[in-house]
A = this chain, B = another copy of it.
Amino acid sequence: MESQTPEWLDEITFDQNGLIMAIAQDRSTNRILMAAWMNRESLQETVETGMAVYYSRSRNRIWRKGEASGHFQSVHEVRLDCDGDVLILAVDQTADIACHTGRNSCFFRVLKDGVWQIVDPVIKDPDEIYSNE
Contact = CB atoms under 8 A, between A and B. Distances in A.
A78 B110 contact: yes
A124 to B, nearest CB: 15
A6 B86 contact: no
Copies of this polypeptide in the complex: 2
B8 A80 contact: no
Contacts of A106: 81-83, 86
A79 interface: yes
Interface in A1-59: 6-8, 11, 21, 23, 25, 29-32, 34-35, 47
A129 interface: no
A11 to B, nearest CB: 6
Contacts of A79: 107-111
Contacts of A100: 82
Contact of A32 (B25, B101, B107, B110): B25
Contacts of A62: none
A35 B86 contact: yes
6 contacts: A7-B114, A21-B21, A21-B35, A29-B30, A77-B110, A78-B111
